[in-house]
């Protein structure tokens, strides 16, 4: 266990450093958007391209991985929405709660962490889950969030906006370009590849620091809009679904597929379970703010899963070892 914590500790320590820097205003809140832009549009796409280009195309298009992850994501969304709905939490808040329950922080944290734990082969299944969560899970939850609207076309319009957002997001394009490079056995000329390498090397530390800063900013902004303490029942169960139910469900579905004779690779299932055990994606708080959801609730879920995952994620790694 200590050897596992020795690998995971620096990743979570960088998140804590970013959180404290923003919390204590060593990093101005206005600067966090610039950090996020650098990670999202420059460093992270370079990292995903490099991993995609170095991954066999069969892993990036594995139908069994797609099936297992998609089924589990849909179940988590359905269970979380059903569990969350009450007189205070309606479709908008329940849907974004479901999104943080089903969408791990794979891009900013998961890919570099899993590669550090399991080697470069872990990148393929992990980045495939990013594609699924960006295209399927996010679009579904955004569409569901519009069901509070009296406009019968609200959900369909939201789904179109979500897909447009995916089209403008550089991460899936970086993954697809990396997969194309892998399939064609092609790579850019050395100066371009070296530039991509420099950006990719910056992705992990800056992304982790940015996660903490985004969490601190979300917490600060949410506190300004709150009018009293939030019941723990509104956010703790969703965090528990993310950290415990999601990875357990992925393991059960994967083992069920293997028992049914489907050739789901054991290593791939190992990676998928660890991806599911990651904390919630931090950028969902920005998405929730854009669609008018309760950002205080979403920020609490993300913060709780991120803090607790230092122990829970390491525990899952130890159990699967």
Give CA–CA dist 108/48, Å, rounded: 10
Give CA–CA dist 22/30, Å, rounded: 10
**159-173 tens-digit pLDDT:** 676 667 667 778 888
Beta carbons of 270 and 248 less than 8 angstroms apart: no
- For 179, other C-beta atoms within 10 Å of its C-beta total 23
Please state whether the predicted TM-score (pTM) of the whole model is above 0.85: yes
Give the per-residue pLDDT at 127. Answer: 92
Give CA–CA dist 240/243, Å, rounded: 5
Q: Which residues pair with 280 in a beta bridge?
A: 104
- Local confidence band at 151 (pLDDT 50, 70, 90 cut-offs): low
Give CA–CA dist 16/120, Å, rounded: 26
Give the per-residue pLDDT at 158. Answer: 64
Of 83-87, 224-228, 303-307, which has the strongest mean pLDDT?
Answer: 303-307
The domains found in the chain, sorted by start residue, are 2-320 (1.20.1530.20)
- Local confidence band at 153 (pLDDT 50, 70, 90 cut-offs): low
- Output the six-digit token pair for 256: 């069920």
> H/E/C letters for each residue in the chain?
CHHHHHHHHHHHHHHHHHHHHHHCCCCCHHHHHHHHHHHHHHHHHHHHHHHHHCCCHHHHCCHHHHHHHHHHHHHHHHHHHHHHCCCCCCHHHHHHHHHHHHCECHHHHHHHHHHHHHCHHHHHHHHHHHHHHHHHHHHHHHHHHHHHCCCCCHHHHHHHHHHHHHHHCHHHHHHHHHHHHHHHCCCCCHHHHHHHHHHHHHHHHHHHHHHHHHHHHHHHHHHHHCCCCCCHHHCHHHHHHHHHHHHHHHHHHHHHHHHCCCCCCHHHHHHHHHHHCCCECCCHHHHHHHCCCCHHHHHHHHHHHHHHHHHHHHHHHHHHC
**212-223 tens-digit pLDDT:** 998 888 778 767
Give the per-residue pLDDT at 155. Answer: 60
| Mean local confidence (pLDDT), 125-141 | 91
């Amino acid at each position: 266990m200590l050897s596992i914590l020795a690998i995971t500790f620096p990743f979570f320590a960088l998140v804590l450093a970013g959180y404290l820097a923003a919390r204590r205003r060593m990093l101005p809140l206005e600067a966090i958007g610039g950090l996020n832009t650098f990670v999202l549009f420059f460093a992270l796409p370079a990292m995903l391209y490099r991993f995609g280009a170095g991954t066999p195309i069969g892993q990036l298009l594995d139908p069994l991985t797609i099936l297992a992850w998609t089924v589990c994501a849909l179940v988590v969304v359905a269970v979380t929405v059903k569990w969350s709905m009450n007189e205070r939490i309606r479709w908008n808040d329940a849907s974004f709660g479901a999104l943080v329950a089903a969408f791990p922080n794979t891009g900013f944290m998961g890919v570099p962490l899993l590669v550090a734990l399991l080697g470069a082969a872990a990148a393929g299944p992990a980045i495939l889950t990013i594609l699924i969560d960006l295209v399927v899970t996010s679009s579904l939850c955004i569409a569901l969030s519009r069901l509070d609207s009296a406009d019968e076309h609200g959900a369909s319009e939201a789904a179109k906006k979500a897909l447009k957002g995916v089209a403008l997001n550089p991460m899936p394009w970086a993954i697809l370009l990396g997969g194309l490079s892998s399939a064609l056995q092609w790579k850019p000329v050395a100066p371009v590849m070296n530039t991509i390498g420099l950006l990719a090397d910056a992705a992990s530390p800056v992304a982790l620091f940015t996660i903490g800063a985004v969490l601190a900013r979300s917490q600060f902004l949410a506190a300004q809009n709150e009018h009293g303490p939030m019941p723990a029942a509104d956010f703790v169960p969703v965090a528990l679904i993310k950290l415990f139910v999601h990875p357990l469900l992925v393991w059960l579905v994967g083992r069920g597929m293997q028992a049914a004779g489907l050739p789901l690779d054991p290593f791939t299932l190992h990676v998928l379970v660890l991806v599911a055990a990651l904390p919630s994606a931090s950028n969902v708080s920005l998405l929730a703010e854009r669609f008018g959801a309760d950002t205080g609730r979403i920020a609490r879920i993300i913060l709780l899963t991120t803090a607790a995952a230092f122990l829970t994620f390491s525990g899952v790694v130890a159990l699967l070892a």
